Each structure stands twice: as structure tokens, then as C-alpha cells.
Amino acid sequence: MLSNVFPEPEDSGLRGAELAIEDNLTSGQFLGHDYPLTNYVADEEADLLDAFEEMQEQDIDLFVANVPASALIAMADRLDEGQMLFNAGARDDHLRGSQCHPQVLHTQPSYAMLTDALVHAIEAFVSTGSGPLTDAHAL
């Protein structure tokens, strides 16, 4: 159930990642797996990009970013071969169109996808009338 009574914590994505790693280590440790997590929170795009480049120098290849579209594009443009960026926040339509990047995986629906889903939900509630004229105007 969705509720606005309890606001979503600002660090819910990070806490979710930590919980997932903890869960995966329950069996992964027996297989010799290790799942390190490095996180960085930035207020300015320039600071974010500096930290991103530092992580790349540490041979980190997978990145999850909850950032605006402009920062996501700047990060994607700096990806090296074999690196992947997971978009965990930007819903802008152009990220899947004119600004699509092959090394970016979107985990959020775009605004166009949300609009399409809303129209389909509304369509389910539209009823037809009692005759051919009203039926012709129904969706």
C-alpha cells in the first residue's frame, strides 16, 4: 500500500543495496563471493563526476546512480568499455531516445511509460453506453 504518511527515507536505495548484499552473502560466502559496496553522496555535479572518476580508477565497473538526467548523461559519457551504469532515478524520456546510451540500464519507468500506464488504467474504467452511438465514442 502506498502512503504519504511515512515519507520514503532519503537513503532507502543505499539501505536496500546493503540489505541485498547482506542477504547474498549468506550463501555467497560459502562460494568465496565478495560483494563490496562503495557509496558517494554529492550535492554538486562536479563533485559527483570527480568521485565517479576516482571509483573508475579503483577498477569499479558497476555503478548505480540516483541522479538527475544531466548528471546521468555526464557519467554515461565517461564510462569505459566493460563498465555499466544503472539509472535508479532519472525518468526523462530522452534518456531512452535521443540520449540513449548502450551502457546504461534503466531501473525506473520513463515519464512516457508512466503516462501510458495511466491511460491504460483509465481506459479500464471507461464504460460503454446503451446504444451504438455511445459505444462508438467509448474507448
What type of residue sits at position 23? Answer: D
User: Using CA atoms, how far apart are residues 101 and 20, in angstroms rounded to an integer?
Assistant: 27
Question: Residue 130: its pLDDT value, please?
Answer: 66
Task: Say whether pLDDT at 23 is over 90.
Answer: yes
pLDDT of 110 reads 93
**Mean pLDDT, rounded, of the chain:** 87
- The predicted-structure confidence for 57-113, as pLDDT tens digits, reads as follows 999 999 999 999 999 999 999 999 999 999 999 999 999 999 999 999 999 899 999
Q: Quick one: pLDDT band at residue 14, thresholds 50, 70, 90?
A: confident
User: Given a cut of 70, is residue 132 above it in pLDDT?
Assistant: no
- State the Rg of the chain over Cα: 21
Residue ranges per structural domain of the chain: 63-127
Residue 124 predicted with pLDDT over 70: no
